[in-house]
A and B are shown apart, each in its own frame.
Chain A
């Protein structure tokens, strides 16, 4: 009983310490020095211009890449899966990868929306009067943009995975059709 209490106490202590350090870490990240505040105030217009340009170029990227990723799913993966399914062939491998690809595409869409909203919110903050909030909001947008990039990497990985699954299907198909022809 004492041992259990000791373990529970230890977990709580470690958890509290980690939470405390985590909060300190975040606050340390968002705390600005006076010099940094002055720099943000002085460069406010330049920073906002850069952010506006980034917002526009990222929106264009989202539209164009989103179209390509959507087409990879609908014009190639779904079509090939449908052809295999129509012939009652074992398409589980490619169908499974297609499902994961679709899920990542959903994440890409959702994470981009979150990122765009955060960047727009950052642009609404007056960096001359409130550089701290502006900086914190910018850091949040930066993290969200990194998530979108991770989604893109994941989509590229699933594109490769689908290719491998289709190649595996081909090998299996060749083996089975060879056996049937004997």
Chain B
């Protein structure tokens, strides 16, 4: 019975494997948590569609300086009176901005046509 009191204190003095390598475990845990965070962030980046809008990606730097920094569409006030004059004012502004929005027929043409891209004489040169 006397030994029962001495054995645990002897074990307490001798640290186990985890206690002896706790700094190493701490570093490993930090690395694992970082890896998980990076993986989740990259997954969100890719799945949300942000990747497709990111012009800082390799291969897109050539066009990144051509992004319109200022918004070309003028704003209409959401508050105020509604009179024939204010409606006409809106229609005039809208016509101007709509012309800007429709000025470019984006994604027109057929640049991925295999006849042009793969099998044309230009490509074969």
Contact = CB atoms under 8 A, between A and B. Distances in A.
A170 B95 CA distance: 15
B76 A142 contact: no
Interface stretch (A5-13, A16-24, A37-45): A37-45
B4 interface: no
Contacts of A54: 111-112
B82 interface: yes
A83 B80 contact: yes
Nearest to A142: B112
Interface in A91-144: 109-110, 112-113, 116-117, 135, 138-139, 141-142
A152 B105 contact: yes
Contacts, number: 169
A22 to B, nearest CB: 20
A117 B47 CA distance: 11
Most buried by A among B91, B95, B118: B118
B69 to A, nearest CB: 10
Main secondary structure of the interface of A (DSSP, over half): helix
Interface in A54-88: 54-69, 71-72, 75-76, 78-80, 82-84, 86-87
B85 to A, nearest CB: 11
Contact of A89 (B79, B82, B101, B108): B82
A83 B79 contact: yes
B30 interface: no
B118 A163 contact: no
Contacts of B108: 149, 152
Contact of B90 (A60, A86, A166): A166
A166 B93 CA distance: 12
A40 B86 CA distance: 60
A75 to B, nearest CB: 4
Contact of A79 (B64, B76, B100, B118): B76
A135 B114 contact: yes
B78 A145 contact: no
9 contacts: A50-B117, A50-B123, A57-B63, A60-B64, A72-B73, A75-B71, A145-B112, A170-B87, A173-B82
Given A80-B78, A149-B107, A166-B94, 9 more contacts: A36-B119, A54-B111, A59-B55, A60-B60, A75-B73, A80-B76, A156-B102, A159-B101, A173-B84
